[in-house]
Amino acid sequence: QVIKCKAAVLWEANKPFSIEEVEVAPPKEHEVRIKITATGICRSDDHVVTGAMVMPFPIILGHEAAGVVESVGQGVTSFKPGDKVIPLFIPQCGECKSCLSTKGNLCSKNDHALGGALMSDGTTRFTCKGKAIHHFLGTSTFTEYTVVHESSVAKIDPAAPLEKVCLIGCGFSTGYGAALQTAKVEPGSTCAVFGLGGVGLSVVMGCKAAGASRIIAVDINSDKFAKAKELGATDCVNPKDFQKPIHEVLIEMTGQGVDYSFEVIGRTDTMTTALACCQYNYGVGVIVGVPPAGQKITFDPMLLFTGRSWKGSVFGGWKSKDSVPKLVADYMNKKFVLDPLITHTLPLTKINEGFDLLRTGK
């Protein structure tokens, strides 16, 4: 059966979302239709609105969510209606080179690799006013119902509160894993975290969980500092308070620079700054924020020649299908908190207000 429901459709760039009635087609072979109960707003969604991430329109955005399986397509054996699930914007097919490698997590079936915005058969499951609507990252969660491929969904503990664990679908896992999985922060190390949104705060939590002795939180919005300290930051630094470049300030604070730095904004200038504040011989810089489309970085190669490493991290380095259920179990066992990351709770009809809150740093 086709389901008619509400969705937030983005018809063109730099315009507000439009709440529309959409038709959601039944799942095809190896697909799952999910009733979305909670979704987070992530800066990556806003990057599509502003054009920093290029996607075709019209589109249903959203990629950080939790919900309940409504129906399954032919050949789906690992899910049944009623299962609590988290959609995965990085799938895990279990067969490609990255999935088979212990080092990798960026499945080649991901939407970026497919040149995506459609399902794997090249069609869409959404229509609105007779028009085909594009999917986003294989998830599209700004809708009451969505259809995803079975490799892009994880079954979770049925007791988990969906309005909290939806954050494990992107923001929390991305930041927490950047520290624990990608950087592999060791006990006693020093860390710097640039950008204190939900993902940056999750990096702070990951550094603390790893036993870092010093976690320096960097943001131009000092309103973010109280929460950063609550979650484990030992120092908070606002670059606007200094005359000199912030990497010099961090090097002075730590003697020779930090062991690990994390850029959690998605700006090329802060990416180079985060690299420069690392210890010159064995420091590791990790890029966590999504880089803006079409921009290039120019930097002094001596920064790397002396031994520093520069790494990227997608979805915190977690293999999605394997790790998401475990992270939910860890949350249920109180290994980490999610409440401080939730600042507002709004109905879908107020999604534009939610994006305004994101853009104003609230």
Amino acid residing at 216 = I
Q: Which tokens go with 88?
A: 């995965």
In the annotation, is 47 catalytic? yes
Say which of 5, 18, 30, 42 is annotated catalytic: 42
Say which of 107, 170, 207, 278 is annotated catalytic: 170
Work out the number of other CB atoms within 10 angstroms of the CB of residue 51.
13
CB neighbour class for 303 (10 Å; exposed up to 12, middle 13-18, buried from 19):
middle
In the annotation, is 277 catalytic? no
- Sole residue written with tokens 């690990």: 260
Q: Is beta strand 131-133 parallel, antiparallel or unpaired with respect to 126-128?
A: antiparallel
Say which of 5, 18, 44, 166 is annotated catalytic: 44
In the annotation, is 278 catalytic? no
Q: Are 92 and 320 in contact (CB under 8 A)?
A: yes
How many angstroms separate the Cα of 310 from the Cα of each of 105, 173, 307?
18, 20, 10
In the annotation, is 170 catalytic? yes
Amino acid residing at 206 = G
In the annotation, is 63 catalytic? yes
Residues 6+ away with beta carbon under 8 Å from 207: 179, 185, 191, 193, 215, 232, 260
Provide the angle, in degrees to the nearest 10, between the axes of the packed helices 351-359 and 43-50. Answer: 90
Active site residues: 42, 44, 47, 63, 170
